[in-house]
Amino acid sequence: MSEICTKCGLPKELCVCETIAKESQKIIVKLVKKKFNKISTVVEGIDEREINLRELAKKLKSQFACGGTAKEGRIELQGDHKQKVKDILVQTGFAPETIEVQ
């Protein structure tokens, strides 16, 4: 028995909901300064109803071997990964034109 998508009712391996969603996001990547002058990379604008934010955060964290959090459509990664985040997101299936690096 395979998992069924709650949105389209198809088995997960046939479902393209997340693929479509990934092409229609408006993602912003930027750096923010945290306490004690620490830098974090913020990825925001991800629609949590359509994208598995936790999975994505997990992937980014393992790619950069850094800590981070994911909540309310926003992923925060410790350190400056601004230049590489876009590549990883594109590899994951997001369309390059949906990602704006500030």
The nearer residue to Zn ion, 16 or 32, going by C-beta atoms, is 16
Neighbours of 84 (CB within 10 A): 14
Contacts with Zn ion by CB under 5 A lie at: 5, 7-8, 15, 17
The nearer residue to Zn ion, 8 or 95, going by C-beta atoms, is 8
> Are the C-beta atoms of residues 64 and 84 closer than 8 Å to each other?
yes
Shortest spacing between CB 11 and Zn ion, in angstroms: 9
Structure tokens at 14: 């046939």
The nearer residue to Zn ion, 7 or 71, going by C-beta atoms, is 7
Shortest spacing between CB 89 and Zn ion, in angstroms: 20
Distance CA 23, CA 25 (A): 6
